[in-house]
Structure 1
């Protein structure tokens, strides 16, 4: 299945003093896979074909959190949700099956509300392992040091080696 890379939004979220966020833009692919074809298997196949091994199937935590050791991709496969991206000072996003969000290391995210069947496939670039930070006192500057060391992925989980991530993150 060919993914749609035409409906891409690049969103920037900057350090708010608690959440580091990132100078790299968060990438939001609206309907990367057609709504009716966004099964867990199809999303996992898309990510795996582009060098981002699928890591889990679940929902999204309801508290603000971020990862300082990995970039994360979320592919919505069932249900719908409203997410807060960028921490408490960030912005709300509505997501539906087929949507994909690529979250740079350091960018806070949480689920505000969702349908009871909401399901996401999550993945990370090959070789990156995630941690879980909540913006607690004492996390930084260690988290900042980690974020600065996370390499830019070699591929875009939706668009592959020539995908938009490469242009936006280099």
Structure 2
């Protein structure tokens, strides 16, 4: 499994997260239908509110929750980080961990595309489609860090980057896309 972290500055009206990077996990599962595997994996690491669906075709972010998205089936091009963000081509078996405030949008997907999503305990995804107010920015900054990495549990790329700080200089096994935005 390969993991990459990406930082995004504010993009037009999308605040993104100024502290935490997006984590992109590649090829967690090599399969055509990883929906059940992702659901079991996220649940086994304490993430809740598991759902299966697609990704909205409009730019949005969540102020009250971090979110993990596992690509269970198909392929998609997702715009991450707001209107001036980065387009990621994702395939079944890939996964994204989005910190609160991070914009995301489906730009196009295969007909069989399905995502499995989940959230850390007691976090609820409020869908935001307009500029963040001072109150929403405060809410984003105060969203609790998850106690576990949704993919690897007590350790892993999310845990290392979000709890231990930026590891790109010291951990050669952790690829970084650098600052984007």
Specify if TM > 0.5.
yes
Question: 1:11–1:25: 8 Å Cα contact kept in structure 2?
Answer: yes
Q: Report how many residues are paired.
A: 162
Deviations 1:66-112 (A, max 9, x none): 00000000000111100000001100000111101000000000000
Question: 2:12–2:82: 8 Å Cα contact kept in structure 1?
Answer: no
Match of 2:141 in 1: 148
Match of 1:158 in 2: 151
Q: Residues of 1 paired with 2:91 and 2:7: CA distance?
A: 21
Q: Residues of 2 paired with 1:46 and 1:85: CA distance?
A: 23
Aligned mate of 2:81, from 79, 86, 93: 86
Question: 2:79–2:88: 8 Å Cα contact kept in structure 1?
Answer: yes
Q: Residues of 2 paired with 1:107 and 1:128: CA distance?
A: 15
Matched, 1:30 2:23: no
Matched, 1:39 2:34: yes
How high is the TM-score relative to the length of structure 2?
A: 0.86
How high is the TM-score relative to the length of structure 1?
A: 0.91
SS across alignment from 1:126: coil
How far did residue 35 of structure 1 move?
2.9
Cα RMSD of the aligned pairs, angstroms, is 1.2
Q: Aligned ranges for residues 59-74 of structure 1 at < 5 Å?
A: 59-74=54-69
Unpaired segments of 5 or more residues in structure 2? 164-181
How far did residue 120 of structure 1 move?
0.3
How far did residue 17 of structure 1 move?
4.6
Distance 1:151 1:75, change over 3 A: same
How far did residue 8 of structure 1 move?
0.2
SS across alignment from 1:56: strand
Unpaired segments of 5 or more residues in structure 1? 1-5
Match of 2:169 in 1: none
Specify which structure has the higher proportion of strand. 2
| Superposition misfits of 4+ residues, deviation over 4 angstroms | none
